Amino acid sequence: MLVHAARVALAPILYAQARRLRAIALVLPEPRGPRQGNEGQGELRLRVLVTGDSSAAGVGADTQDEALARPLATALARRLRAGIAWQLVARTGLTSEGLLRFLQSQPVAPADVAVIVVGVNDLTSEVPLRHALHWRREIVDWLRAHAGVQQLVFASMPEMERFPLIPQPLAWYAGLHARRNNIAQARWVRSQPGTSHVDLGGLTRAEWMARDGYHPAPPLYAQVVARITSAIVETTRAE
């Protein structure tokens, strides 16, 4: 009730700030570099798919070597002491529904593990949370059926109240809804076999953000890679 009342009271300010952000936001390109490959030495241990929105694509880094997908594969190869095949299927601006449609249009290779980074565009597009979770469930089903994925890892949304680009009170409002998403997603994955939620809380810092004040810079991507790597390794070794 308090949140609803605050939204009603702040609505004119929130919408004005959101419109201004869309007008002034710096549009960064997706980083250059390969979107699939093999890392490490020895027998192939895992095939990893990274999929999602601009953060999955690595926006904020100059090359894929400093982004998410390839460093994740490299870290997994090092931790597991084995070969890792990886593929990146991502595009800036995707909501959860948009990601499903994008996956369906792409040549997605078979994978053992899928890392899914999505949610911010659901929030900014005002997609109801229950609808976003519905589309994420559809993504899970599609990846299992069409890519043979056994382990699905959903990253939590970032702490948007810490984004340098976003002014108050819009930052407070975005952060509140990001936390709601993370709580709901963490609860939802518990009912989905082979699916997990990786909490990225505590990582968002102004000095680790890209020059647009909105996307991760390489230092933040490195922290995210470390946390997701640990989650995958823990599950893989337990199997």
Dihedral over alpha carbons 107, 135, 133, 205 (to 10 degrees)? 40
119: left (phi over 0), alpha (psi -120 to 50) or beta: left
**Residue 29: both structure tokens together:** 């390109």
What confidence tens digit (pLDDT) does each residue in 39-82 have?
999 899 999 999 999 999 999 999 999 999 999 999 999 999 99
According to the model, what pLDDT value does residue 237 have? 66
Q: Tell me how many domains the chain contains.
A: 1
Q: What angle do CA 79, 205, 189 make, to 5 degrees?
A: 55
CA atoms of 152 and 17, how far apart (whole Å): 35
Residue 122's domain comprises 2-238
| CATH number of the domain within which 210 lies | 3.40.50.1110
CA atoms of 234 and 210, how far apart (whole Å): 30
pTM here is 0.94
* 69 or 7, greater pLDDT: 69
What confidence tens digit (pLDDT) does each residue in 95-106 have?
999 999 999 999
What confidence tens digit (pLDDT) does each residue in 155-213 have?
999 999 999 999 999 999 999 999 999 999 999 999 999 999 999 999 999 999 999 99
- Whether the bond between 158 and the residue before it is cis, its omega within 30 degrees of 0, is no
Amino acid at 210: A
Amino acid at 47: R
Rounded CA Rg of the chain: 18
**Residue 38: both structure tokens together:** 């093999």
CA atoms of 89 and 136, how far apart (whole Å): 15
